């Protein structure tokens, strides 16, 4: 490792990243498998994943001339209490946080090399299979729940990539997997979205259903959602690597739970969301990844949660939701009321 690689890694840690590795760019070993996953329809309505297929097959293509990739991981608190919102979404948007830090790292590289050096930061937004790059950069293995697992921190971390037009000495790839015979993640998934080790059917995944899906949630999948309003951590919660190595967030973390998500149970949060106006939502969730689902999606999810864990006392808030301007919200509120009806008598 040369002085430049050492400086890049030290600066990445100094910027707050918890993991950093370097790999070379080139053909992507997992691209065929990803395309097969898409062809099988397991991405559901996430048609944007089909874009950039040729660039996705070769990591030299997103940035012309890129020869190296600096891959980073940023922990988001696997030791934080479980709740109705997935841990990654309780604070600030990770895209903004990580891209700003990666751009600062890029500026440092420019200064050290007398740049400018061609390059670009990617955080879950471009035609890159970041997980593949991370494994090749030595950051972990592909778990049976499809997450990248690091042997020192588990899997509760975001991935980001800085592609650079530089020849950097690569780290050794992570060659082994350490899941062994464990199937806790597959066994724990309420909707059986993990159809086999390492294969996720997004159409059944609670994270997909409550975030990416814009239409009605299939009725047979509503009850398994339970009290989860946005996203799901179950397959990570049960992973022994997270049980042993998950971390708590520092008090200054941008991913600490924001005030609008103070409710620690799904029923309370669902009631609050169903009564929320658009201006209140925009104010409370400014800079939050939860804006991705939009208020209509969150109200849809909230109605499902009340249908699952609500009581007769929630009939009033659901009845008011029958007058919501969004047909999507009205339909799920009616379903939830039907679920509550037996308990009301």
Provide the annotated active-site residues.
Answer: 124
Give the DSSP per-residue string, 224-242. Answer: GGTT-SB---HHHHT-HHH
Task: Tell me whether strands 141-142 and 148-149 are parallel, antiparallel or unpaired.
Answer: antiparallel
Residues 6+ apart with CB under 8 A from 318: 274, 303, 306, 310, 333, 336, 337, 340
d(CA 26, CA 41): 27
Residues 6+ apart with CB under 8 A from 130: 71, 122, 124, 159, 160, 161
Structure tokens at 200: 């996720």
Give the DSSP per-residue string, 68-100. Answer: EEEEEEEE--TTSPP-SB-GGGSSS-HHHHHHH
Residues 6+ apart with CB under 8 A from 268: none
Q: How many CB atoms within 10 Å of residue 322?
A: 13
Residue with tokens 């066994």: 187
CA distances for 181 relative to 186, 190, 233, 345, angstroms: 12, 20, 21, 48
Structure tokens at 329: 């919200």
H or E stretch at 327: helix 327-344
d(CA 30, CA 129): 8
Helices (H) and strands (E) in the chain, counts: 14, 8
Q: Coil, strand, or helix at residue 158?
A: strand
Q: How many CB atoms within 10 Å of residue 301?
A: 31
Q: What's the burial of 184, exposed, middle or buried (CB within 10 Å: 0-12/13-18/19+)?
A: middle
Contact 120, 127 (CB under 8 A): no
């Amino acid at each position: 490792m040369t002085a430049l690689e050492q400086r890049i890694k030290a600066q990445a840690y100094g910027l707050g990243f918890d993991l950093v590795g370097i790999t070379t760019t080139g053909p992507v070993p997992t691209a065929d498998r990803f395309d097969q996953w898409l062809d099988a329809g397991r991405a559901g309505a996430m048609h944007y994943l089909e874009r950039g297929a040729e660039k996705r097959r070769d990591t030299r293509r997103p940035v012309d001339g890129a020869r190296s990739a600096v891959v980073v991981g940023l922990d988001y608190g696997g030791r934080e209490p479980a709740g109705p919102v997935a841990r990654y979404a309780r604070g600030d948007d990770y895209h903004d946080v990580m891209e700003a830090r990666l751009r600062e790292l890029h500026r440092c590289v420019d200064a050290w090399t007398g740049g400018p050096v061609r390059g670009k930061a990617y955080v879950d937004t471009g035609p890159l299979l970041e997980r593949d790059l991370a494994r090749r950069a030595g950051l972990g293995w592909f778990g049976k729940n499809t997450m990248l697992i690091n042997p020192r921190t588990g899997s509760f971390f975001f991935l980001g990539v800085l592609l650079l037009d530089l020849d950097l000495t690569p780290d050794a790839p992570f060659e082994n997997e350490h899941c062994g015979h464990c199937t806790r993640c597959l066994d724990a998934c309420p909707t059986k979205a993990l159809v086999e080790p390492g294969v996720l059917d997004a159409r059944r995944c609670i994270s997909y259903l409550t975030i990416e899906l814009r239409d009605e949630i299939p009725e047979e999948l509503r009850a398994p959602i339970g009290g989860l309003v946005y996203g799901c951590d179950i397959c990570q919660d049960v992973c022994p690597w997270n049980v042993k190595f998950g971390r708590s967030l520092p008090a200054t973390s941008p991913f600490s739970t924001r005030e609008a998500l103070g409710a620690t149970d799904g029923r309370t949060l669902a009631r609050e969301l169903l009564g929320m106006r658009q201006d209140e939502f925009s104010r409370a969730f400014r800079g939050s990844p939860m804006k991705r689902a939009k208020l209509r999606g969150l109200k849809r999810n909230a109605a499902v949660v009340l249908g699952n864990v609500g009581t007769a006392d929630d009939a009033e808030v659901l009845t008011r939701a029958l007058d919501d301007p969004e047909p999507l919200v009205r339909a799920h509120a009616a379903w939830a009321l039907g679920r509550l009806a037996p308990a009301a008598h």
